[in-house]
């Protein structure tokens, strides 16, 4: 007899499609860590164009700005995640943890 484990993945959509999922949250966290979109993209081995498109999609669909970018300077401009954005990441992480706890409680349904 094997033991079962219920696994899950969650993501947030708007009427325009994907808004926030693991990949986008990971990108936002990399922006917080590196301070720029290009370094965040590099750290995730993602093209700058793809990272830019993801951030643009998050910004356009959120109630408030999530990532603020500044152009110019010797490092080609920085990026920061706003307080609103950090709060969004926290909510997503909390919801993920709550879902995992909810499903862990249900695991015994599959034991026999």
Q: Does 45 participate in binding its own copies (rule CB under 8 A)?
A: no
Give 34 or 57: the residue with its C-beta nearer to its own copies: 57
Biggest CA–CA distance in the chain, Å, is: 62
Pairing label, strands 79-81, 67-69: antiparallel
Question: Which CB atom, from 34 or from 61, has the smaller least distance to its own copies?
Answer: 61
52: contact with its own copies by CB under 8 A: no
Task: Give the residue, chosen from 56, 93, 97, 103, that forms a contact with its own copies under the rule CB under 8 A.
Answer: 103
- 22-34 vs 83-106: helix crossing angle, rounded to 10: 140
In the range 4-33, which residues lie near its own copies by CB under 8 A? 4-16, 19
Residue 23 sits at φ, ψ, to 5 deg, of -65, -45
Residue recorded with tokens 């999609």: 57
Residue 36 structure tokens: 């720029």
Please report whether residue 57 would count as binding its own copies according to CB under 8 A: no
Quote the CA–CA distance of 112 and 102 in Å, as a whole number: 19
Instruction: Give whichever of 53 and 102 is closer to its own copies, judged by the CB atom.
Output: 102
Interface positions with its own copies (CB under 8 A): 1-16, 19, 61-63, 88, 91, 95, 98-99, 102-103, 106, 109-110, 112
């Amino acid at each position: 007899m094997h033991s079962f484990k219920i696994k899950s993945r969650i993501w947030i959509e708007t009427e325009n499609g994907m808004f926030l999922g693991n990949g986008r949250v990971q990108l936002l966290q990399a922006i917080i860590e590196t301070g720029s979109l290009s370094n965040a993209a590099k750290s995730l081995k993602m093209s700058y164009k793809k990272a830019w498109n993801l951030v643009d999609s998050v910004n356009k669909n959120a109630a408030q700005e999530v990532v603020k970018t500044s152009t110019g300077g010797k490092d080609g401009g920085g990026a920061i995640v706003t307080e609103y954005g950090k709060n969004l990441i926290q909510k997503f992480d909390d919801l993920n943890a709550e879902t995992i706890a909810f499903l862990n409680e249900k695991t015994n349904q599959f034991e026999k």
